[in-house]
Amino acid sequence: MSVSLVSNAYLDENSAKIRSKPVPWEGYQRADLVTSEELALIKKVDRQPRAKLESILVSDGQIYALLYLRLLKKLQRVDTMQCLLVLIADALLDHDERIPLFTRAAQSDPDLPYLPLLRTLEAQDEFVQLKSAQILTILLSSESTPLQHQHLQPFLKVLASLVQGQASNKREVAVQCLEALLARPDCRRAVWAIPGIIAGHVPLLVEILRQKPTPQMSYQVIFCLWLLTFEQDVAAQINQKFDIIHLLISVAQAAAKEKVIRVIVATFRACTFPLSRNLISKAPSANLPAMLVAQLLPFSKNLSARKFSDEDILEDVQFVRDELTRDFESLTTYDEYVSELASGHLSWTPVHESDEFWRENASRLNEKDYEQLKILIRLLNTEDSLVLAVAVHDLGQYVKHYERGKKVITDLGAKALAMELMTHPNPDVRYHALVSVQRLVSHPWITA
């Protein structure tokens, strides 16, 4: 993996400044922190032009990989750590074949290469922290064996804190690090297990998209989400937990860059067969209802009529369109209503105000121990005023068209919820709650 895959202007500009800064290597030797042999080696590369560094690394690459890591392990002054991190990154720049020189350092010292780099992540200096993250990403993502817990977990927790922060440099580098790491199945599973990275109470990956970031940041965040959906469990749960289908469609509708649309559609469709992984093919039952309600089929039809410079986009769009057409064409009106309930995104579609629909289907909400009715009742606790208004309206329709509905609703605790909504700040919610409560009160009890 190339160093350039994790980069930003802040790292590049500061690296250039640090290359010309003097470091008191002789002082370290006088303090017995650096041996005379280490001093001689480091002076050969200190503030030298790239051509000379390259010639030294060609012949003595392993010696210098060990030197940089050993010095980083024992020297903790900020300017010295900055210098050593730049030397490591420069050695790796455009030279992926040198990565094993650093990962093999464990054969000489089990603390290397990761312990010093993980320690520098805790530094108060922003450059040291981000440069360490860059190097750790390169080394970890290149490992040929499963990553060790003591190396991966501390790093992921730091990345979570960087994503949470408001500093643009930290967030940008952290998202790029995740992009690289999530290509590994062990990293995907580990990231999914850390709630702080995906979503939470402060702006994180999903929340970044809701804040309408730059096209590049949108692309990088969605790329992370796409990689995560390679895991079956993630594909089945990610929309349930974080409502990303509606979000991705809204981002795609506003996207000016083709690559943003491409990665969104790729999240919906399979990757190359036989590694079929996406929200449709990996977990259709979990995601198709939300795709139906979010109007992904009409949107995919609109996309298929557009002209794209990237032919892969059109191929993916056509796949999504054809899959959804096949899956949706056999749905009944009640199936569509159940899908809307499952998505949690109720809106004033025709079924809600259709007496014919409710006469035919009200009793079906009782099936499987009132499964669908219980979902409807749970929606009375949402914060979305539109969903609240539609849900409490449907409750009234259920009572109106199912003769035993009043007792069922009362037994399930929904009557009290409906009455609370009569004082809701939103006038539509108040109105529909009032109508439903009137039906609950006026309809006769049938308990048999």
Write out pLDDT tens, residues 38-92: 999 999 999 999 999 999 999 999 999 999 999 999 999 999 999 999 999 999 9
pLDDT of residue 273: 33
Q: Would you give the DSSP letter of residue 347? A: -
Q: In whole angstroms, what is the distance from residue 346 CA to residue 432 CA? A: 14
Q: How many other C-beta atoms lie within 10 A of the C-beta of residue 292?
A: 22
Helix (H) or strand (E) holding 105: none
* Per-residue CA distances from 141 to 56, 105, 245 (Å): 26, 16, 29
Give the pLDDT of residue 291: 85
- Cβ neighbors of 369 (< 8 A, separation 6 or more) are none
User: Which comes out higher in pLDDT, residue 283 or 123?
Assistant: 123
Quote the CA–CA distance of 307 and 210 in Å, as a whole number.
27
Mean per-residue pLDDT, 217-244 = 89
What do you get for the CA distance between the two ends of the chain, in Å? 70
- 2 pLDDT band, cuts 50/70/90, is low
* 125 Rama class: left (phi>0) / alpha (psi -120 to 50) / beta: beta
Average the pLDDT over 2-16 and give the result: 87
- Calculate the average pLDDT of the chain: 90
Contact 183/218 with Cβ under 8 angstroms?
Answer: no
Comparing 334 with 285, the larger pLDDT belongs to: 334
Q: Are 128 and 82 in contact (CB under 8 A)?
A: yes
Query: At a CB cut-off of 8 Å and minimum separation 6, what does 250 contact?
Result: none
CA–CA distance, 117 with 132 (Å, rounded to integer): 6
Q: Taking 60 as the threshold, does the pLDDT of residue 446 lie above it?
A: no
Q: Give me the mean pLDDT over the 146-162 stretch.
A: 93
Q: What is the DSSP letter of 330?
A: T
- Number of CB atoms found within 10 A of residue 279's CB: 29
Cα–Cα distance measured from residue 381 to residue 325, given in angstroms and rounded to the nearest whole number: 33
pLDDT-based confidence at 270, cuts 50/70/90? very low
Helix axes 126-142, 9-19, angle to 10 degrees: 110
CA–CA separation, 96 and 259 (whole Å): 26
Can you tell me the distance from the alpha carbon of 441 to that of 152, in angstroms, rounded to the nearest whole number?
59
Tell me how far apart the alpha carbons of residues 277 and 274 are, in angstroms, rounded to a whole number: 9
How many CB atoms are located within 10 Å of the residue 226 CB? 23
What gap in Å lies between CA 69 and CA 106, rounded to an integer? 10
Of residues 190, 85, 211, the one with CA closest to residue 136: 85
> What per-residue string of b and e applies to 165-184 under the rule 16 or more CB within 10 Å gives b?
eeeebbbbbbbbbbbbbbeb
Whether pLDDT at 220 is above 90: yes
**65: enclosing H helix or E strand:** helix 50-74
| pLDDT of the residue at 272 | 30
Question: How many Å is the Cα radius of gyration of the chain?
Answer: 29
Nearest C-alpha neighbor of 347 from the set 292, 391, 308, 305? 391
Q: Scanning the structure block, which residue is given the tokens 């796409």?
A: 226
**164, 173 contact by CB (below 8 A):** no
Q: How far apart are CA 99 and CA 180, in angstroms?
A: 15
Question: What's this model's pTM, rounded to 2 decimal places?
Answer: 0.83
pLDDT per residue as tens digits for the range 168-207: 999 999 999 999 999 999 999 999 888 667 765 344 889 8
Residue 158 and residue 121 in contact, taking contact as beta carbons nearer than 8 Å: yes
DSSP state at residue 146: P
Task: Categorize the per-residue pLDDT at 444 as very low, low, confident or very high, splitting at 50, 70 and 90.
Answer: low
Distance CA 395, CA 324 (A): 30
Tell me phi and psi for residue 201, to 5 degrees: -85, -10
Residue 427 has pLDDT above 70, yes or no: yes
Whether residue 295 is predicted with pLDDT greater than 60 in this model: the reply is: yes
